[in-house]
């Protein structure tokens, strides 16, 4: 099957696909931003499953069911908090994308959507985060059978324009 990358501007919780990625925090017990939206939409059974997992280190990823979402799975990953740029932030963001994609590959997930990890409250520079997300994803889908379709979900205009420019230009 032909691999593809798509860009949409929407609420990630509304997507009817195999898996969505959550930009979670280390506790996996919910939070603000996209994490809060996903927990609200998935319902309380998600929190119960997350409690059993017992947390997730930065850069790692864990999978749960999607519960009330249309998506069958949620892959929870923890992006880095941007500090000075010299504290491994870029390495950790790369790991968050790679580990999420690896879990998708293991579970034979065909279609997956990513939010713009770390670019909200965690303060990662949006341009740099988008370059990392696209570069890692392109390389991963070329080498692996799954996922076959990756959707980058931008919630704000600034991120949408950044992704659009990168995806168009190369």
**What residues are annotated to the active site?**
35
In whole angstroms, how far apart are CA 137 and each of 8, 28, 47, 76, 131? 16, 24, 28, 17, 10
Q: Does 117 help bind ligand ADP (rule: CB under 6 A)?
A: yes
Under 8 Å between Cβ of 48 and 104:
no
Q: Which of 15, 35, 39, 162 binds ligand ADP (CB under 6 A)?
A: 35
Q: Does 120 help bind ligand ADP (rule: CB under 6 A)?
A: yes
Measured from the CB of residue 139, what is the shortest distance to ligand ADP in angstroms?
22
Q: Does 87 help bind ligand ADP (rule: CB under 6 A)?
A: no
- The helix-helix angle for 126-143 and 89-106 (nearest 10°) equals 30
What H or E segment, with its residue span, contains residue 153?
strand 149-154
Closer to ligand ADP by Cβ: residue 64 or 77: 77
Q: Which of 9, 33, 60, 105 binds ligand ADP (CB under 6 A)?
A: 33
Instruction: Report how far residue 19's alpha carbon sits from residue 17's, in angstroms, rounded to the nearest whole number.
Output: 6
Span of 84-92, 104-112, 133-141, 151-159 interacting with ligand ADP by CB under 6 A: 151-159
Q: Which of 64, 118, 137, 148 binds ligand ADP (CB under 6 A)?
A: 118
What value, to the nearest 5°, has the Cα angle with vertex 64 and ends 159 and 28?
A: 65
Residues lying near ligand ADP in the complex (CB under 6 A): 11-13, 23, 33-35, 37, 79, 115-122, 153, 155-156, 159
């Amino acid at each position: 099957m032909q691999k593809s990358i798509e860009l949409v501007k929407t609420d990630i919780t509304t997507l009817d696909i195999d898996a969505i990625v959550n930009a979670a925090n280390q506790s996996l017990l919910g939070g603000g931003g996209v994490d809060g939206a996903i927990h609200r939409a998935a319902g309380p059974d998600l929190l119960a499953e997350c409690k059993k997992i017992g947390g997730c280190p930065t850069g790692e990823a864990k999978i749960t069911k999607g519960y009330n979402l249309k998506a069958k799975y949620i892959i929870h990953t923890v992006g880095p908090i941007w500090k000075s740029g010299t504290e491994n932030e870029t390495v950790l963001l790369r790991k968050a994308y790679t580990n999420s994609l690896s879990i998708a590959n293991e579970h034979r997930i065909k279609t997956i959507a990513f939010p713009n990890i770390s670019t909200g409250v965690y303060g990662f520079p949006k341009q740099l985060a988008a370059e990392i997300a696209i570069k890692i994803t392109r390389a991963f889908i070329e080498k692996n059978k799954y996922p076959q379709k990756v959707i980058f979900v931008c919630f704000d205009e600034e991120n949408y324009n950044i992704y659009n420019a990168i995806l168009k230009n190369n």
